[in-house]
Amino acid sequence: MRTVDPAKHEARRRQILAAATRCFARKGFGQTRTADICAEAGMSSGNLFHYFESKHAIFAAIVEQDGIETDALFAELSTMDPWAALTAFFDLLVDLADDEYAKLALEISAEANRDERIAELVTANDRTLRAGLAALVERATAAGRIEPGVDADTAATWLTVLVDGLFNRVAVDPSFAPKRERETLRQVVARVLQAN
Amino acid sequence: MRTVDPAKHEARRRQILAAATRCFARKGFGQTRTADICAEAGMSSGNLFHYFESKHAIFAAIVEQDGIETDALFAELSTMDPWAALTAFFDLLVDLADDEYAKLALEISAEANRDERIAELVTANDRTLRAGLAALVERATAAGRIEPGVDADTAATWLTVLVDGLFNRVAVDPSFAPKRERETLRQVVARVLQAN
């Protein structure tokens, strides 16, 4: 009887998700075939189907993984000084926002339009993101780092406008280099968090 | 010999673009068939192909039309007081940003990833938008409405981050009502345009 090594299984699963991410970012969800993902991951389709039953399941797993990582990130940020955590969050965003990530984010948003399961996952991830940001804003206000009178939920919503907008810029404007914009982004974030 | 009434031809063309916009927003570019557009526009495929040779040509025409309208809008805004023009621009955005428009914007950005012609049109439209906003920022600075020291191109780039981010919010978050956020958006715009 074959036994499954869980660490090996998980590593293989991650390898498929990484390969699929590259394919989806490059060709879009609709035009990526399972065969493309197999080729990119360097495995047979029989082997791939051992991990995921369909292209759709792989795509959903990528969105789910994104939610798990957002959760883990905010768990970590919740132990930090809240203002330092907000700065760290947007710094991380700048580091993540490369062409592949930005194009995948667009694919996910577009796919959520026409696929209920993806829409559910995207809505849940978005809620996690906004709740995490709102909690940081609340803590930063309690710590006196943000002036009283800033509504945490409204502020969090506008911070997610910046998050989405930043990714869109990277995907659409080849002259936009997020790493060069790090300081400006910090400044814009600080201004969005000003009291009325 | 049949003669073509140019006004009637243009009206028919617009009707097709409006019908196609609804289809693309609802089902996405990939899953929309020409037959869907014909049904939505209430015309035969023979008639439709008289105006556009393919689904792709219709999609490209929508993106092109968007560019023409952006051009016309900034021509109009350039005759106004620059600060009033900036306010009017973001007010218009709030009025435009319904679910259909936001979902279409996502489809266009996603399609630009994998189609060179669409990418060219999107890049050109984006350049028009940024140039128009930068010109308004420059004029507002010259008029003393924005403090000196604000770089017009950088400011315009961050204003487009807000534009993109706002549309994404509408597409992704059903609880986000842009019309309720009009005042907050004005405030965020004013803050992005603060000097260092």
Choose from B150, B168, B193 for mutation: most chain A CBs within 10 A: B168
Segment A4-18 shows an average pLDDT of: 92
Q: Which two tokens stand for residue A88?
A: 């760290």
| The pLDDT value given to residue B30 | 86
Percent of chain B's residues with pLDDT above 90: 85
pLDDT score of A74 more than 60: yes
Confidence of residue B196 (pLDDT cuts 50, 70, 90): low
Q: Cβ atoms within 10 A of the Cβ of B82, count?
A: 20
Domain B6-192 has CATH 3.40.50.300: no
Domain boundaries, chain A: 6-192
Q: What is the pLDDT of residues B123-151, one digit of tens each?
A: 999 999 999 999 999 999 999 999 888 99
Closest Cα to residue B77, out of B33, B117, B134?
B134
Residue B180's alpha-carbon distances to A3, A9, B70, B161, B184, in angstroms, are: 57, 48, 24, 20, 9
| A48 against B113, higher pLDDT | A48
Q: How far is CA A51 from the centre of its chain?
A: 22
Contact residues, chain A, for B24 at CB < 8 Å: none
Taking residues B99-122, report their average pLDDT: 92
Helix (H, G, I), strand (E, B) or coil at B146: coil
CB burial of A92-127 (b: ≥16 within 10 Å; e: otherwise) equals: ebbeebeebbbbbbbbbbbbbbbbeebbebbeebbe
Q: How confident is the model at residue A113 (pLDDT cuts 50, 70, 90)?
A: confident
Q: Does pLDDT of B113 surpass 80? A: yes
Closest CA–CA distance from residue A63 to any residue of chain B (Å): 14
pLDDT: which is higher, B37 or A3? B37
What is the pLDDT averaged over residues B11-19?
95
Q: Which residue has the higher pLDDT, A117 or B28?
A: A117
Give pLDDT tens digits for A79-97.
Answer: 999 999 999 999 999 999 9
| Higher per-residue confidence, A196 vs B99 | B99
SS3 for A145?
A: coil
Chain A hits for B169, Cβ within 8 Å: 157, 160-161, 164
pLDDT bracket for residue B2 (50, 70, 90): low
Distance from CA of B188 to the nearest CA of A (A): 6
Task: Tell me the mean pLDDT in the region A17-32.
Answer: 92
In angstroms, the separation between the Cα of residue A188 and the nearest Cα of chain B is 6
Q: What percent of chain B has pLDDT over 70?
A: 98
Chain A residues contacting B via beta carbons under 8 Å: 25-28, 30-31, 103, 106-107, 109-110, 112-114, 122-123, 126, 130, 154, 157-158, 160-166, 168-169, 171-174, 176, 181, 184, 187-188, 191-192, 194, 196
Per-residue pLDDT band for B194 (boundaries 50, 70, 90) equals confident
Is B160 close to A165, i.e. CB distance below 8 A?
yes
The confidence score (pLDDT) of residue B3 equals 72
- In this predicted structure, what is the pLDDT of residue A42? 95
**Can you tell me the mean pLDDT for A152-169?**
94
Assign A2 a pLDDT band (cuts: 50, 70, 90).
low
pLDDT at B1 over 60: no
pLDDT at B93: 95
Q: Pick A154's closest partner by Cβ from B106, B109, B184.
A: B184
> Tens digits of per-residue pLDDT, A171-189?
988 889 999 999 999 999 9
